[in-house]
Structure formats: structure tokens, C-alpha cells
Structure 1
Amino acid sequence: MNQLENSQFLGTEKISKLMLKFSIPCVLSLLVSALYNIVDQIFIGNSELSALGNAATGVVFPIFIIAQAFAWCFGDGCAAYLNICQGRKDAKSAHKAIGTGILITVFASLILILIFFPLKVQILTLFGASDNSIGMAVEYFNIILIFFPIYMLSNMMNAVIRADGSPAWSMASMLFGAIINIILDPVFIFGMHWGMTGVALATVIGQCISFVISLVYFFRTKTFKLTKESFALDIKTFSHALKLGTSSFITQMTIVIISLVCNIMLAKYGAMSHYGVDIPIAIIGIESKVFTVVINLVVGIVLGCQPIIGYNIGAKNYARVKKLYKSILMCTIIIGVISTLLFELVPQAVVGIFGNPTNIPNPEDYWVFAEKTFRIFLSLVTFTCIIKMTSIFFQAVGKPAQAVISSMIRDIVCFIPLILILPMFLGIEGILFAAPIADFIAMIVAASLTVSFLKSLDMDYAEEKREAVLKPSRQGIIITIAREHGSSGKQIGKLVAQKLGIPFYYKEMTALAAQESGLDREFISEINANSPAMLHSLYLSTEVIQQAIVAQDKVIHKIADNGSCVIVGRAADYVLRDYKNIVRIFIYAPEEYRTERVMEVYGDSIREAKRNINRSDEARAAYYKNISGKLWGERQNYDFLLDSSIGIEKCVDAICGYIASCC
């Protein structure tokens, strides 16, 4: 039974059953990852370390995220590149990228140690440490920092393990690490009385366990084999993987920026209030850990449903997509409403899990601020959950622009400006009100985008269905045409196909790739036609990118195997590099000719034409470099280069004449 037949149940099985099967492992995995930070805070809060200890871990948390950002960038990039190489059966590039990724991760961790260690007091103070908590923060941070290489390697390797088709192994490595952390925390804190040193040791030992389990997988996997050659630094190969991980890096660094701004403002306005600095920092640290549990439940559900969404989008089963969306939305609302009730009705009970404050001057202020934080800051947590769900849903259906807007409108466009402005008028309470206001604005935008998308599913896709078919052909020659924007390459290719009596493929490839991958046709069309940044758009998951590229690769091979044809674009000359009956053509023209051509065809002004030419060519070059590692338009990559300014008909005759001479 092939992969397609194996996945057909995604379009027929009961949705609730599919959601349970796919989402529960994902939810558990994300909850386990949240345990590392939450367990520490619970034991700290219930020990003599109390509120100041929680404040200390709160200021170190953003630095954890910085390390994680680099690890996920390298790991997700290598993971996506591994899948692409598997699709191409290019094992050599895969193990080189992973080996180099491991080396770069170690190098990056050492650089971070060299930067953070001498500047630790200044950095921790910047992140909100006070005179009361700085000693604990440094004690904790010193040990955590030493084990950065282990922590980052574990995160990097886990991403590769998941991509290699072993999510259970990845989850096991995190789970066993978390269990060890949970066991050692009370031993070191209450039994040995090691304070923040004990907390840090419990954490890093758990990380070491996770690392060892991940390392074992790398020695047993049969998909890729790491040898000494794998660890020969290959920057060229790794650069392709790095591009695919950029989105993960930017996502994590956004969290760092938000945490940094939030902590700075809390420290500033806390010092100006009767709460002081430590209470707000400690409470917001607890809030972030509790919120992580809530949001991970939602993220786990929708991430788990991504394969189901993608399959049914690809199968044009839009009624089922809508039904699935409603089911995910209902789960999200239930989680959000239950969380809101807890935060509004019993905030002290939630915060009480993290202990009583025994080492701060005014414990009553601690509880007052805790109530305010949970009742105000998290008052619209249901909206926050829906916004996050919407962003991931748009990723799953191949709508990167909507995914970015849904997420960025809340965190960057609204929250950060509000957190800077509102305290000027409302004091420290202004920071708390920034979150629900940002949630409300972002919810309106997310709802509008969702309604618009769901309505668009009812449109007539007859044209797409007509295009998504292989055309009858015969064995012979395969002609690939790459071209500069405005050089009339597409028109020339179509005329060549007509003259030779063979099929022509351009937009038809997009429809076929959409059918193959289950992604949105518009998204696939724009991967190398919109901007070079499209391949690593801010919140576009690397899995979606890899899925689209692999789908196009498969479609191009199917077209070529079907017989003689003309294929325009999509790096087809490189994809089909192993075919013997291929003629690779590159069509170019002087800038003046192309500018006039674009003005004539699209009605652009001179300025618009030149700008669009540059953008389009940069996008094509970036896509080609990402796919092949080669420079787009270089002479040695093609069999026949042609200046189209000699005239379209002459170009057609020249190409047909060249083909005749080859045959």
C-alpha cells in the first residue's frame, strides 16, 4: 500500500477520532516541554527561596529562549533540509547538513557563553533582576550557562529526530529529562538545601538525560548515517538548511523581545509603585509559565490536526475542512473559557501552587498583584488562544501572509506599543491592561481573515481541476526554460511547445503541486514569485515550506516521466539534472527591452516595471539557490542561452532548430 492510500483515511475517518489520534501525542509533547520551567518554579516557590527565587528564574527565562532560538533555527532548518534531501534521495547532502548543524550549534553555544558570562550581572539586571534577586539569579545562571552546549544540542537533535519520523523518541527524550528534573528538584532543594544551585543542577541533569537519549537515536537511525565526513564543516550545504530554520529563530526572538520589554517596564514602574521590583517580576514569571500550559494545549491540538487539514484541503473536501476548523475552534474556546474562569474566580489558588512569599517585605502586596495580573492580564485569554490557533491554521492551509498577520498584530503591532504607552497614564496597571486590549484588536483582525478564508472555500475551482492533469505525450525531449522577468520566456516556451506538438507546463505545475501536497495553490504559486523572503517568512513553518518544495519536485518528475514537454520555471533544469533527454534553456534580455515589455504587458510605469523586474529576478535567484545551491542564470548550468530581444519568433525558431540538431 503506497503513502497516498495510507493517508486516505484522513478524508473519511470520523473527525473526533482523528483529532484524538493526532493531537494527543502533540499536546503531551508540548506539555512535557513546559514542565522544565514550571516544575522548577513550583518547588522554588514552596521552599525558602520563595518569591525571590521565582523572580530570579523569571529574569533568566528570556536567555533560555535566546539559546533555544539558535538551537531551533539550526534544528528546524536541518530537519526541513533532511526531508527535502530524502525526497531527492540525496543522503550525502543530508548527513553533511546535520553534521555541520551539530558543529555550528556547539560553536554558537560557546559564543553565547563567552558573551553572557562576563556580562551576566548587566544582562540579568537588564532583564529585570533587582538588588534582592540578582544574587540568586547569578547563582542559577552560572550553572545553566555552562551546560548551554548540551541544552542547545538536545533541542537541535530533537527537531531532526521528529523530522526523521520518530516523534515518539523525541517526546521520550524530553519526558525522561523532565521526570529526572522533577525527582531531583525536591532532593536538591529540600533534602540537600542547595538553594538555586540545586535548582540549576536538577535542570541541567535533566537536560543531559534528554541529550543522551537523543544521541542514542543518532547512532541507531537507518535514514542517515553520520560519519567523520559529516563533521567536515560544509557552510555551503548548511546555508540551505539555515534558511529553512530562520522562521523558528525569528519566532523565538520575538518572544525574547516581548519578555525583555515587559520585564523592563515592570521593573521601572514596579519601582515607582508600592509593589517594588521583585513582586511584579515574580508574578509575571508565574503567569508566563501558567499561560504556557494553556497555550500549549491549544497549539498541540491544532498542530496535531495539520496533516488532516492539509489532506482535506488537497482533496478539495472543503466541507470537511470547515467542520474540522469548527471542532478545533470549539476545543480552543473550551480551554480558554475554563482557564478564564480559573484566573478570574480563584487566581490565588492558581498562584498558590507556586508557594507563599516568605522572603519579601510585604507578602500581602504579592497576593494583591497576583490577583490583578491574572484577572486583568489574562482576562481575554480565550481570544489569545483563538488568535494562536488561527495563525497555525493558516500555516496548515498554506496561507503564510494571514498566518503572519494573525500572530504579529497581537504581539508586535499592538502589545509592545501598548505596554510602552499605557503605563504613562495608568502606572504599573497599564502593563496589565496592554494584554487584553491587544487581544481584542488582534481578535477582530483574526476573525475577519478567517471568515474571508472560509467563504473563499466556496468558490468555483473548476479551472484548477482542469489544470491539475497530466497531458498526453510521447517519449522524446524534455525542454526546461528558465528566464529573466520580462524576457517573454513563458510566451516563447508556449510557442515552442505548440510548434513541436508537445505539452506545455507552467501554471499547471502549481495546480498539480497543490493537489500533491494539499497546500493552497496561491501559496505554492507565490513561493518563488513574490519575494526572496517567502521561503523563510516570519511565522511560516518550515514543514510547510518543505512540503511545497517536495511536492513540486515530485510533480516535475511525474511530468518528465510522462514524455516530451516544455517546462517553464520552478528550477526544473536542476530537479531533472539526472535525465539524459533534457535540454536546459535560459532566456535573458537587456534591461531596456525587459522594462518596455513589462510596461506593455502589465501597464506599469518605468519605475514600477524596474522594481518588479528586480523583485521577481531576486525571488527566482533565491529559490534556485535554495533548491540547487547554484547561482541562477550562470552559463554552465544551461545548454542554450538566448537573448529574446532578437524577437519572439526568431527565438522560437532558434530553440526548435537547436532541438532538431540535438535529436
Structure 2
Amino acid sequence: MANKNVELMRGEPEIAVRKLAIPIMISMLLTASYNIVDGIWIAGLGQAAIAGIGFVTPIFMILNGFSVGLGNGATSSISRSVGAKNHERASKAASHSLLIFLIASIVLTLSLIIIQEPLLKAYGASGQSLVEGIKYGTPLFLGLFAFMFANGGSGILRGEGDMKRAMYAIIVSVILNFILDPVFIYVLSLGSAGASLATIVSSLGSAIVIMYWILIKKDTYVDVNLKGFKFDSEIAGDILKVGIPSSLDMFMMSLAMSFYLIFISMVGGEYGIAAFTSGQRLYLFGIMPLTAIGSAVAAVTGSAYGAKNWDYLKRTHTYGTKFATMISAVILALLVIFAPQLSLIFAYTPETAALIPEITSFLRIACFGLLLVGIGMPSSFFYQGIGRGTTSLFWTIIRELIFTVFFTYLFGIVFNWGLTGIWVGLAVGRIIASILNFTYARYTINKLKTVLN
């Protein structure tokens, strides 16, 4: 199986991107369903619980982002080794990735537990929403290792093109989450804490399955031998030069989210936070297929770059962009057309019914940014594939912290358009930044022609 995956990555890039993206897409949509399912069950706990969890979202993005980011570092390093037909180096990259996941889990868990309450207060959480936020956040942060090895382990599998088994592990996790959410939240009366505990236990199930394949069954392309492990700073550095910037991608988006929450609190209070939190769940769900295509682009790009094949490199980015744009148009149409019905998912109780108009407004305005994110997302992952993680981070900063924060403040606060202005700012900022990102990616590809040919 592993050899077929490797040959796929070394073959026609259009076929590789398409075949690799579909299982990643399914995996990410299933992963995003965690958020959706949590939101459905939490809606029954009232507006304070919804808002409290909304305040935790930026911190959770840091937690999950580091695990995904370090996994991307593993993917990039392994895929470039696969392209260069260097099996030994690919195996060493996988071993070093596991060590990095372990160390990061310990450091980040301690850090997040310490800073969570001050951060929640800084975002504007107080009273019952603060209580609910801490109840939801604490188990998530204590269980960081489950996310780290689940997402990081998936990165190792993606690096060798084994997307299907990464998908199977996610299916195990999602089934567990579907079962455990109502049990923990209502049967055991754990409330908000029950939702996060269900997510952690489910992620742990995924991590165990992946580690079984890599460490015990040993039927992957990479051969991880922990007993004979020898630390290599060059390989660790190669993983981290993509992994750290990719992790900081999520941190920057989390930081930007903090500004959005502050602006929303200023103009819409708890009502605005609850509407944004619910709408954002659907936006993040909608962006998952684009992220999946980007992940496939990163893996295939890495293989092409390692093989010094400029033609495959260019074709990978071109096809990934077209594929993502087509998918984003379909997703946008669904979110806009069915916005009122989708809003009901998170506002089905008498107490939360008042949120429906604002969630609908969010979906019909803010989600228009998806239309051009389809050309920006593959570009960001392209940089990771060729080992330029800092370039990907640079564009995240431009998109979220510069353009989007600026326009949300401009329309929502300065122009006094309120929540509608913030929704407009989210769309405008992301559209402009995505166009610039795509343009720079094409410029980078043209420059690489003289290097790789």
C-alpha cells in the first residue's frame, strides 16, 4: 500500500492532487464535524455556554494549530525525501517528528493551562460565559497530547501519500465523538466540560490507531525504529522550519480572532459573540475541503521539489488552484442559499432562536471570502511543500492580521456598520489578501524554473 502511495505522489500531479485530496477532504470534514456536533449539543445549554466556548475558540486554534502545523512540517520533510527517493531520510524524519510532538505536547499544555483565564478575560469573557469557557477549555488543554499525536501522525502518513488510512483513523475518532458527546454533556451532566472531554477521548482513539500502524504493525513506507534512535539536528531543523511557521499560522489566526471577538463584543455584546461563534463553525466546516486540497498540494509539491521537477511543481499549483476554486464556489452557494436553515442547527431552542437572523447574515456576507480563498489556500500550502514555511506564515499575517483585522475595524467600528460591517470586513480582507497571495506564488514558481531545471 505504502509503495503505491509513493508512486502516486511521483506520478502525474493532477491525478495525485485529486486522489490525495479526496480522502483528506473527507477526513477534515469529519474532523470539523467535531465542532458542529459540539455546537448542536451545547446549544441546549444556553447562550452563555455558546458564548463561553466562543471565547475559547482562539485558544483552541492555538492548541489544534500547533499539532496540525508540526504535522505539516513532517509532511513536507517526508514528501521531499520521497521525491528524492531517500527512504532512510524519510524514516528519520518520521522518528524525529514523534519526538517533536511529545516535547511540544508537554510545553504547550503547561503554557495554555496557565494563560487560559487571563486570555478569556482579555477577550471580554465575564460572569457565566467565563465560567463556561474555563469548563470547556481546561480538558482540551490537558488533553493536548491526543490532538498532537493524532494530527501529527496524520502528517507523517500524508508525507508518504497514505491519505486513506489517515481518513480511517479520523472515522474512528468521529464515531466516538458522536457517541460520547450526548453521554458526557447530558447523561453524566458534565455540561460544557463534557463536550471537550468527548473530543479529547475521540482524538486519543485516532492517535492510538495511527501509532499502531507506524510503531507496531510497521507497514508504512517510513520505518520508525525508536530503539535505535539517534538525534539529528539537521533533520529536526528541516521539520521545524516548516512546522513552526505552520504552527504560528494558527497562532496568527487565533490572534486575529481575538481582535474579531473584541470588535464584536464592542458592537454586539454576548449576542454578537454567540452569532459569530455559531456562524464561524459553519465557515470553518466549509473551508475544510479547501484545506484538504492545500494539504494534497503540499505533499505533491514537496515530492516534485525533491525530485527537482519544475513542470510537475507548476502543474500541481495550477491544478490545485482550479480544483479549490471550483469547490469553494459550490460551498459558498450552499452556505448562502441555505443560510436560514443552517442557522437553525445552532439556534433550535427558544432561548437561542433570536440568533437566527444574525447567523444568517454572517453566512451570507462573511462567507463570500471563500470565493477567493480557493486561490489563496493552495498557494500557502505550496510554500510549505517546498520547505518555505516562513513565506506561508507571512501570507497568513497579511491576510488575517493586516487586511482582515483592518477591514473589520474599518467597517464595523469606524464606519459604525456594527455586526454587518464586521461580516463585510471578514470577506473583503480575505479576498484581497488571497489575490495577492496567488500572484506571489506564481512569481515564486517562475523564479524556481532556473533553480530546478
Superposition pairs of residues 621-660 of structure 1, within 5 angstroms = none
Match of 1:191 in 2: 187
Q: 1:359-508 alignment to 2 at 5 Å?
A: 364=354, 366-378=355-367, 380-389=368-377, 391=379, 409-422=398-411, 423-426=413-416, 428-429=418-419, 430-439=421-430, 441-442=432-433, 445=436, 449=439
Note the 1:94-493 alignment, pairs <5 A: 97-219=93-215, 220-222=217-219, 223-230=222-229, 235=233, 237-270=235-268, 276=269, 278-301=270-293, 303-304=295-296, 314=311, 329-343=325-339, 346=340, 349-356=341-348, 364=354, 366-378=355-367, 380-389=368-377, 391=379, 409-422=398-411, 423-426=413-416, 428-429=418-419, 430-439=421-430, 441-442=432-433, 445=436, 449=439
2:64 maps to 1:68: yes
1:3/1:386 Cα in 2 relative to 1: closer, same or farther (>3 Å)?
closer
Q: Alpha-carbon deviations, 1:351-372, whole Å to 9, x = none?
A: 2112335567xx63x3343333
State the partner residue of 1:637.
none
From the superposition, tell whether residues 439 and 239 of structure 1 become closer, same or farther in structure 2 (CA, over 3 Å): closer
- Name 1:41's counterpart in structure 2: 39
Partner amino acid, structure 1, of 2:218:
T
Q: Which amino acid aligns with 2:248?
A: I
Aligned-partner Cα distance in 2 for 1:85–1:66: 28
Cα distance between partner residues in 2 of 1:6 and 1:102: 25
1:391 offset after TM fit, Å? 2.9
> What is the alpha-carbon distance in structure 2 between the residues aligned to residue 117 and residue 323 of structure 1?
42
Which amino acid in 1 is paired with 2:62?
I
SS of aligned partner of 1:412: helix
Match of 1:56 among 52, 58, 65: 52
Deviations 1:213-269 (A, max 9, x none): 111012222531322342x66555422321132331232222111111111222233
Per-residue deviation, residues 554-581 of structure 1 (Å, max 9, x unmatched): x9xxxxxxxxxxxxxxxxxxxxxxxxxx
How big is the shift at 1:337?
2.8
For residue 426 of structure 1, report the CA deviation from its aligned partner: 0.7
Larger Rg: 1 or 2? 1
Distance 1:410 1:138 in 2: 30
Displacement after TM superposition at 1:157 (Å): 1.8
Compute the displacement of 1:525 (Å): 4.8
Q: Which has the higher helix share?
A: 2
Paired residue for 1:512? Answer: none
Amino acid of the structure 2 residue aligned with 1:10? E
1:51-98: CA deviations, max 9, x gaps?
A: 22222222222222212333234333234334455646473x655554
**SS at the partner of 1:228?**
coil
User: 1:33–1:128: structure 2 CA closer, same or farther, 3 Å change rule?
Assistant: farther
AA paired with 1:284?
F
Contact map agreement 2:170 2:206 (CA 8 A) in 1: yes
What is the deviation of 1:301? 4.4
**1:569 corresponding residue in structure 2:** none
* Structure 1 pair 282–384 and aligned structure 2 pair: CA distance change class (3 A): farther
Q: Decide whether aligned partners of structure 1 residues 433 and 117 sit closer, same or farther in structure 2, where only a CA change above 3 A counts.
A: same
TM-score (norm 1): 0.57
Is the Cα contact below 8 Å between 1:76 and 1:245 reproduced in 2? Answer: yes
Give the superposition deviation at 1:522. Answer: 1.9
Provide the C-alpha distance between the structure 1 equivalents of 2:377 and 2:10, rounded to a whole number of angstroms: 25
Equivalent-residue separation in structure 2 for 1:399 and 1:78 (angstroms): 11
1:153-196 superposed Cα distances (whole Å, 9 cap, x missing partner): 22222211221342222121122111100111122233333212
* Structure 2, unpaired ranges of 5+: none
Residues 299 and 388 in structure 1, CA contact (< 8 A), matched pair in contact too? no
Partners of 1:381 and 1:155 lie apart in 2 by: 26
Q: What TM-score does the superposition give when structure 2 sets the normalisation length? A: 0.81
Q: Distance in 2 between matches of 1:199 and 1:265?
A: 27
Distance 1:338 1:95, change over 3 A: closer
Superposition CA RMSD, Å:
4.1
Q: Residue 426 of structure 1: SS of its match in structure 2?
A: coil
Contact 1:387 1:406 survives alignment (8 Å): no
- Partner AA of 2:428 in structure 1: I
What code does the residue aligned with 2:225 have? L
Task: Specify the alignment match of 1:658 in structure 2.
Answer: none
Q: For residues 72 and 397 of structure 1, do their structure 2 counterparts lie closer, same or farther at Cα, with a shift above 3 Å needed?
A: closer
User: Structure 1: any 5+ residue segments left out of the alignment?
Assistant: 271-275, 457-518, 527-551, 556-663
Distance 1:327 1:255, change over 3 A: closer
**Counterpart Cα distance in 2 of 1:266 and 1:317:** 41
Instruction: Show the counterpart of 1:10.
Output: 12
Distance in 2, Cα, partners of 1:261 & 1:105: 29
Q: Deviations over 1:356-414 (max 9, x none)?
A: 35567xx63x3343333333333x24534434356358659979899788765542331
Q: Percent identity?
A: 21
Give the secondary structure class of the aligned counterpart of 2:338: helix
Which deviations, in whole Å up to 9, do the C-alpha atoms of 1:279-310 show, x marking residues without a partner? 22222111221011222223434654778899
Matches of 2:206 and 2:275, distance apart in 1: 29
Q: CA deviation at 1:134?
A: 1.1
Distance 2:95 2:186 in 1: 42
Deviation digits for residues 485-535 of structure 1 (CA, Å, limit 9, x no counterpart): xxxxxxxxxxxxxxxxxxxxxxxxxxxxxxxxxx94622656xxxxxxxxx
Offset at residue 38 of structure 1 (A): 1.6
Distance 2:286 2:91 in 1: 37
Structure 2 residue identity aligned to 1:289? R
What letter is aligned with 1:388? G
What CA distance in whole angstroms lies between the structure 2 residues aligned with 1:308 and 1:81? 12
Deviations 1:131-164 (A, max 9, x none): 2211111112222222112222222222112213
* 1:62–1:239 CA distance, 2 compared to 1 (3 A): same
User: Which residue of structure 2 aligns with residue 480 of structure 1?
Assistant: none
CA–CA distance in 2 between the matches of 1:316 and 1:76?
A: 18
Q: What number of residue pairs does the alignment pair up?
A: 439
Cα distance, 1:445–1:322 mapped onto 2, change above 3 Å: closer
Distance 1:115 1:334, change over 3 A: closer
Evaluate the alpha carbon distance shift between residue 442 and residue 105 of structure 1 in structure 2; reply closer, same or farther with a 3 A threshold. closer
What amino acid maps onto 1:369 in structure 2?
A: E
Mapped partners of 2:117, 2:381: distance in 1: 41
